[in-house]
Structure 1
Amino acid sequence: MTRRLTYAEAAAELPDGVTESWLRRHIKKLPHSKLGRVVYFTDTDIERIDALFHHEPTAGPLAAVPAAAPAGQHPLSHLVPLPSRRSMRA
């Protein structure tokens, strides 16, 4: 049998920082099910929400594997400037 979780139960299942009010505010972007006017979340919905909004750091002290720059290059050398706003107006 599939579990049906309320907002409060879903917030408790998700990582810290996800509150019931956050779920309510973002419901249009989140996977969920409705039965009449009652909104509920299944285990699959909870997994998809976590996958959609979970971001691992790619650089810095919390990164699992620090991003390495190619030898002899500056770490930001791959960045290019944005086009001029004047050229966008034409």
Structure 2
Amino acid sequence: MTRRLSYAQAAEELPGVEESWLRRHIKKLPHSKVGRAVYFTDADLDRIDRLFHHEPATGPLAAPTKPTTSAAAHPLADLRPLPRRGKALANVS
């Protein structure tokens, strides 16, 4: 059975998070609701943790950057516009 945590219990599970912060940001956070009762599952808490996780961009702990090649084609280079309305689709190549 999945654990269902109240605001207070979820705040205890998330270090540095207060119950008032969870209540203020509930519309942006993963949660479940039955009637007026709001609860969080372990999966919701994991998602909240991942949403607000930041990795350093510079410094010794930063992830190494991948070299970019200028010869690579743009990923959207093969897209073509759709034909105008009223035109037959057979004319599209």
Aligning the two structures, in what range does the TM-score lie when normalised by the shorter sequence?
Answer: 0.5 to 0.7
1:53 aligns with 2:52: yes
Deviation at residue 56 of structure 1 after TM alignment: 2.1
TM-score, scaled relative to structure 1: 0.64
Q: Structure 1: 5+ residue runs without aligned partners?
A: 69-90
Hey, what's the Cα distance between the residues in 1 that align with 2:19 and 2:40?
12
Hey, what's the Cα distance between the residues in 1 that align with 2:54 and 2:31?
21
* Equivalent AA in structure 2 for residue 45 of structure 1: D
Runs in 1 of length 4+ with deviation above 4 angstroms?
none
Hey, what's the Cα distance between the residues in 2 that align with 1:29 and 1:45?
12
Deviation at residue 66 of structure 1 after TM alignment: 6.7
Q: Structure 2: 5+ residue runs without aligned partners?
A: 66-93
1:65 aligns with 2:69: no
Hey, what's the Cα distance between the residues in 1 that align with 2:56 and 2:8?
28
SS in 2 for 1:31: coil
Hey, what's the Cα distance between the residues in 1 that align with 2:35 and 2:4?
14
The C-alpha deviation readout for 1:15-71, integer Å capped at 9, x for no partner, is: x321101100000000000111000000000000001111122224xx523768xxx
* Equivalent AA in structure 2 for residue 59 of structure 1: T
Overall identity of the aligned pairs, in %: 71
**Do 1:7 and 1:40's aligned partners in 2 also have CA atoms closer than 8 Å?**
yes
SS in 1 for 2:44: helix
Between Structure 1 and Structure 2, which shows a larger proportion of helix residues?
Answer: 1
Hey, what's the Cα distance between the residues in 2 that align with 1:66 and 1:39?
37
Q: How many residues align?
A: 66
